[in-house]
Amino acid sequence: MVPGAEGGSLALTLPGSGRGPLPSPETGLEAATRGIKLGPWTVPALSVPGDAAMAVLGELADPDPDGPWLAGPSLRYLTLLAGYACDLAGRGRMLPQLAVEAGMPTARWRPVLTGSDTATFRDFAAGMPPVVRAAGDGQAVGRTVRDALESLLDGAARATLPERFMVGQRPGPKSALPDRWLAALTGADPALPGAADADVRDLRRALDDWMRAANEAHGPIRVSFRLFEPSPEAPPGEDGWFLEFALQSAEDPGLYLPAEDLWEGDRFPGLPRRPDETLLAGLGRAVRLFPLLHVALLEQRPSAMPLTTGEAYDFLRQAAPLLQAAGFGVQLPSWAGRKAVGLKLTTRTRSRSGASSRAVADSGFGLSELVDFRLDLVIGDGAVTAEELAELARLKVPLVRVRGQWVELDARQLKAALKAVGERREGQLTAGELLQQVVDGGDEDLPLVEVDADGDLGDLLSGQAAERLSPLPTPAGFQGALRPYQERGLSWLHFLGRLGLGGILADDMGLGKTAQTLSLLLTDEGSRSLLICPMSLVSNWHKEAGRFAPGLRVHVHHGATRMRGTEFDEAVAGADLVITTYGTALRDLETLRGVTWSRVVCDEAQAIKNSGTRQSQAVRAIPARTRLALTGTPVENHLAELWSIMDFCNPGLLGPAKRFRRRFQEPIESRQDEDATAALKRATGPFVLRRLKTDKTIISDLPEKNEMKVWCSLTPEQATLYQAVVEDMMAEIESSEGIQRRGNVLAAMMKLKQVCNHPAHLLKDGSRLPGRSGKLARLEELADEIIEDGDKALIFTQYAEWGTLLQPYLTAHTDRPVLWLHGGLSKARRDELVERFQTSGEPMLFLLSLKAAGTGLNLTAANHVVHFDRWWNPAVEDQATDRAFRIGQSRDVQVRKFICTGTLEEKIDAMIERKKALASSVVGTGEEWITDLSTDQLRELFSLDPAAVR
C-alpha cells in the first residue's frame, strides 16, 4: 500500500492500562479510564526512508473517507508539516549545507526560519501531538520538529529543483569537493564518499558562515529595503524607480529610519551605538542576494539607488523573496505579488430583483433559475479588451503601467487570459452554476477577482444577505420577541433554506443562536429536523424548545432507554424536532440515515471540525435537504476546520480538502496571502453569518463585563511549601530527559499551582482550611461581600479535588448553599443544580469545574465570576465567563482572576499580557509549551519572589 515502506515494529512510550495502549480517539473504541500511565509498548509500524517521506506523506494526505483506515492526528500533523516544507522550498527559504551523517559528508538543504516563519515553527512545536515523538529518547519538541522539517524540506527542495548535471556530465569521485557537493544537492544520491577531511572542514566552515549570516539579520535591528514606484506624473517610458535603504526594529516595524535620515544624525530608541556600521554591514551581506547593490556600496554614505523598470522587476520577483528569507525587511508597493490579470463576473436576473426572503419563497426563486452572465478580463482596477490584452502580450514587458496603475504580468497569466478571450464569455447559466463558479474562484492563473450581481443572487453572493433582506417577523408560535439582529438572522437562515443551501450561524456566545434556530423551525411548518449537540446540552435544548416554541413536537433520542425499531419510527413520525448527541449519532447512524430529514442542525459544530474522525464522518452521512452549523468558533486552530464545517453544510461546494489546502489554507496560513484571503471570504461569506456582542450596532443593551486581577499573597506556610517543591522538582528535572523530563515539568507546575491554591490541596492530608491560604482568605472576603449584596457568583477551578474540599468549607463559612458541579455528576443532577441556581431567589455561590462547565450552560443569575486558579488559555476562560455574560444578563458582570504574586502565576500572566513570542504558544495549548523551556528558564519561571509572602 505504501511504496518504499518496510513493515516492522517500534517501541513507543504511550499511555495505557494493563490491557494495552489506549486506542486513538478517532477509532471510537472504548478506552480504559483507570490505571492509565505512560509506559513502553511494542506496536506495528511502517518504516519509510527519510528521502521518501515527502512522497509517502503526499500519498497518505487525504485517505478515502469510506476506506478501511483513518488518518490519526500524528499523520495529519506530519502531512501539514510536509506542506509547510514544500512552501518553504517554493519560496526559497532554504540554504544548501554540508552535513555529516554516520561519518559520511552529505549534501543537504536546510530551512532558514526568520520573521513569520519563526512564529509558524513555534506553532508547529506547540501543536505537535505527543505520539509524534513517542519513539526513541523522547527528545524535546523543538528538536523533533526541526529534525522532521529538515528531512522533509530536503526532499521538497530536490523535487522542486532540476538536476544541475546531465547523466555523464556529473563530477566524478576525484573532482573537487565543491563541484561534487553542488551536483549532489539536486542528484539522487546526496552522499559524498572519499572526501578529504580538510576539504570537508573548509567547505563546512564557509557554508556555516553563510547560514549564520542569513540569521544575523534576525536581531533586534535589521536592514530594510523599500521599493518606490515612479511618480504618476512621470512621462510614459521614463524610468523612475528607486530602492530606499533603512534601519528597522524587528520587534516594532513602525520604528523605521531611512538611511538618508540616519546619515543626518537622526535616531530611534534601541539602535546600536554605531548604527552606520549596522547599515553598511547589512548592505554588504545583502549584496550576495541582490548583486546590483554593489553599485550603491561604491558611495561613502549609501541611502538609496535608482532602478530601471527591468531591474525593479528583478528585485520584485527574485531579490525581494531572498532578502525576506534571510531576515531583511522588505517593503513593496501594495500591488506587488498580486495576480495582475483576473476575471470579473457580472450577472443580471430577469425579474424579482430585490425581493424579500418571503417574496423569494413565494415566487419560487431557486438555484435552477436562469440568469444572464458576462465574464470580463480585468487588469488592476479596470476591464481590458481583447485588443489591449493582445498588445500587452506582444510587448512582452513584465512590469507595465495600465491606466495609471503598475501591474506585474507573467507569461502564464497572459497565456491563460488570451485563452479565455476565445472561450464562452457571456450567456445564460442557472443561479446554482454561477454560485459554483464564484466558490471555485476561477483558476490559479486567472482567478475571479470581482463579482457584480443583482437581485436575490446578489444578496446571497454579497455575504451581506442578513442586512439586505427584509427581516422576517417573529413567528406566531414563538414565545417572546426576537431582537432586530435575530430577525435578520432568521431571514438569512430561511433564505438559505429555501435555496436548498446550508449555512454556519457563527454568532458570538450569548447572542441567541438557539432562539434563532427554534424560530426557523417554527417558520418552516411541516418540516422534520434533527438536532445533534453535545450530551451536556440535550436538556438545555429540550427546555429551551419548551420555553420558546411550545408548539414544536420534540423527541429526545439519547441514553440507554432510547427508542429503537418501530417505536423510534413512530416517535419520529410524530415529531417536528429530534434531539440527539454526537455519540448517539455515531452509534445509531444506520437508524438516523433511514429517516427523511428536512434539516440537520449541529450545535457546538466545532465537534465536527476534524473531518477525519468517525464522529464527523457519521454526521456527514446523515442525508438532509439542508444543513445548519451553530458555533461561536468556526476556526479555532487552522482553516481546515472551516473546510470541515462548510463541507458538512454544503457538501462538495468548496471542493476536496486537498484543493482547499493548496488554494486557501497554505497561502493564507503560511504567507498571509491577501488574494487568497479575499477569495476565501468571497467563497464562504454567503454561507457564514457572524455577529459579535461587543458590537453596539448589534446589541446595545447587553451590560458591561468588567475584568480585574485579584493579587493574592502567599502565607509563610505556602511560601515554604512552594520553595520546597521548586528545589525538589528542579533536581528531578535536571536529572531527567525526554518524556520523563516533560512529565516532571508538568508535575512541578501542577504542584506549584496546588500550593498557590492551598497547602491542603497539595498535601491531601484532610487538614483544616482557614488561615493558611492567601487565595482562600480573599475568596472568603469576596463571598461575604457578594452574599451581603444579595448577588450570586460562579467560582471556577480546574481541579475537581480542590472543589470537593472547598464546597463544604464555603457552605459552613457563609451559612448559605454552595452548589458544586463537576464531571462526575449525572446529567439529571447537573440539570437540577443549574435549575436551582437560576430560579432560587436567595444569594448563593456556584462552584464549577472548568472542564465540566466551561461551555453549554446558561447561568445568567450570576453577576460575579471568579477564576480561582488559571487555565492560562484566554479562550477557555472567556468561554467559562460567558456562562454569565450572555443575553438574559441584566446586570454588569464582574470577572475576577486570582493570581498569587511573585509566583509562576504572576510571571505567566505577564507573558500573556505582553504577547511575547513564547506567550503566543499559550493560546489553545494549555501548559504544554512550558515543558520545552530550558532548565535555567524553568528555574526563573518557578522561582519565588520573597515579596510574595504576607
CATH number of the domain at 582, please.
3.40.50.10810
Is residue 450 within 8 A of residue 378, CB to CB? The reply is yes
For Cα atoms 120, 124, 127, give the angle at the middle one, nearest 5 degrees: 130
Residue 929 has pLDDT above 60, yes or no: no
Amino acid letter, residue 90: G
pLDDT digits (tens, 9 = 90+) for 564-611: 999 999 999 999 999 999 999 999 999 999 999 999 999 988 888 888
Q: Count Cβ neighbours within 10 Å for each residue of 698-730 and write b for 16 or more, e otherwise.
A: bbeebeebeeeeebbbbbeebbebbbebbeebb
Global pTM exceeds 0.85: no
Residue from 839, 833, 875 nearest 860 by CA = 839
Q: Which residue is it, cell 432562539?
A: 515
Check pLDDT > 60 for residue 494. Answer: yes
Q: Which helix (H) or strand (E) holds 43?
A: strand 37-47
pLDDT in tens, 71-85: 777 888 888 888 888
Q: Do 90 and 237 have their domain in common?
A: no
Give the model's pLDDT for residue 235.
Answer: 62
Last residue of a domain, one of 659, 689, 719: 689
Helix (H) or strand (E) run with residue 893 in it: strand 893-900
Residues 788 and 891 in one domain: yes
- Tell me which DSSP letter residue 175 carries: S
Neighbours of 29 (CB within 10 A): 10
Are both 520 and 372 inside the same structural domain?
Answer: no
| Main-chain phi, psi angles of 912, to 5 degrees | -65, -45
Place of cell 493582445: 390
- d(Cα 764, Cα 510) in Å, to the nearest integer? 38
Is position 753 within any domain?
A: yes
Closest CA to 712 of 570, 479, 905: 905
Read off the pLDDT band of 921 (50, 70, 90). very low
* pLDDT above 90: residue 213: no
Q: Convert the pLDDT of each residue in 824-876 to its tens digit.
A: 888 888 888 989 999 888 888 999 988 776 566 788 889 899 999 987 767 67
In a domain, 282, yes or no: yes
Which range, 164-178, 438-452, 702-716, has the best average confidence (pLDDT)? 702-716
User: Distance between CA 294 and CA 310 in Å, rounded?
Assistant: 17
pLDDT band at 919 (very low <50, low <70, confident <90, very high): very low
789 — pLDDT class (breaks 50, 70, 90): confident
- Inform me whether the pLDDT recorded for 63 exceeds 60: yes
* Residue 636 sits in the same domain as residue 661: yes
- In whole numbers, what is the pLDDT of the chain averaged over residues? 80
3-state class of 723 per DSSP? helix
**Per residue in 611-655, pLDDT tens?**
888 899 999 999 999 999 998 777 766 788 889 999 999 998 888
Whose cell is 449555512? That residue is 503
Q: Are residues 203 and 224 in the same domain?
A: no
Question: Per the domain annotation, does 65 fall within a domain?
Answer: yes
Mean pLDDT confidence for 32-45: 76
Q: What is the pLDDT of residue 463?
A: 63
Counting every residue, how long is the chain? 950
- Per the CB < 8 A criterion, the answer to whether 878 and 907 are in contact is no
Indicate if 648 and 776 belong to the same structural domain. Answer: no
pLDDT at 320: 87
Q: Which residue has the higher pLDDT, 533 or 354?
A: 533
The four Cα atoms 662, 664, 668, 669 give a dihedral, to 10 degrees, of -60
Q: Which of 72, 76, 54, 131 is nearest to 658 (CA)?
A: 76
Q: DSSP state, 442?
A: B
Q: Are strands 341-348 and 448-453 parallel, antiparallel or unpaired?
A: parallel
Indicate the range of 221-230, 735-744, 821-830 predicted with least confidence: 735-744
- Which pLDDT score, from 0 to 100, does residue 368 have? 73
CATH of the domain at 907: 3.40.50.300
Report residue 136's pLDDT band, with 50, 70 and 90 as the boundaries.
low
The total domain count for the chain is 6
From residue 162, give the alpha-carbon distance in Å to each of 93, 95, 173, 362, 523.
17, 16, 21, 61, 62
- At 875 the pLDDT is 65
- Run of H or E residues at 659: helix 657-660
Same domain, 208 and 221: no
Q: Are residues 654 and 782 in the same domain?
A: no
The pLDDT of 515-528, averaged and rounded, is 91
Q: Are residues 74 and 155 in the same domain?
A: yes
Among 437, 461, 485, the domain-final residue is: 461
Output the pLDDT for position 923.
Answer: 26
* Cβ–Cβ under 8 Å, residues 731 and 919: no
Show which of 287, 311, 331 is a domain's final residue.
331
* Sign of the CA dihedral running 499, 459, 648, 574: negative
153, 256: one domain: no
What SS3 class is residue 131? helix
Burial (Cβ within 10 Å: 0-12, 13-18, ≥19) of residue 660: buried
Q: Which three cell numbers stand for residue 409?
A: 504580468
Residue type, 739: I
Q: Are residues 322 and 421 in the same domain?
A: no
734 and 858 housed in the same domain? yes
Return d(Cα 715, Cα 774) in angstroms, integer. Answer: 6
User: Does some domain include residue 695?
Assistant: no
CB 241 within 8 A of CB 311: yes
3-class SS of residue 406: strand
- The three three-digit cell numbers of residue 30, written as one number: 472504548
Tens digit of pLDDT for each residue in 347-374? 887 654 444 433 433 444 567 778 787 7
Residue 587: predicted pLDDT: 92
In this predicted model, what pLDDT tens digit does every residue of 326-346 receive, in sequence order? Answer: 778 899 888 776 666 777 778
Tens digits of residue pLDDT in 246-264: 999 876 778 899 999 999 9
Res 922 pLDDT > 50 = no
**Cα–Cα–Cα angle for 197, 198, 203, nearest 5°?**
100
Would you say residue 336 lies in a domain? no
Instruction: Say if 456 falls within a structural domain.
Output: yes
Residue 822 lies in a domain: yes
699 assigned to some structural domain? no
d(CA 279, CA 222): 8
pLDDT over threshold 70, residue 99: yes
Which residue range(s) make up the domain with 417?
A: 341-461
Question: Which amino acid, 161?
Answer: L
Write down the pLDDT at residue 73.
75
Using DSSP's 3-state secondary structure scheme, residue 468 falls into helix
Report residue 889's pLDDT band, with 50, 70 and 90 as the boundaries.
confident
The letter for the amino acid at 642 is L
The residue with cell 498571509 is: 672
Q: What is the pLDDT of residue 915?
A: 37
Radius of gyration of the chain (CA): 31
- The mean pLDDT value for 295-303 works out to 92
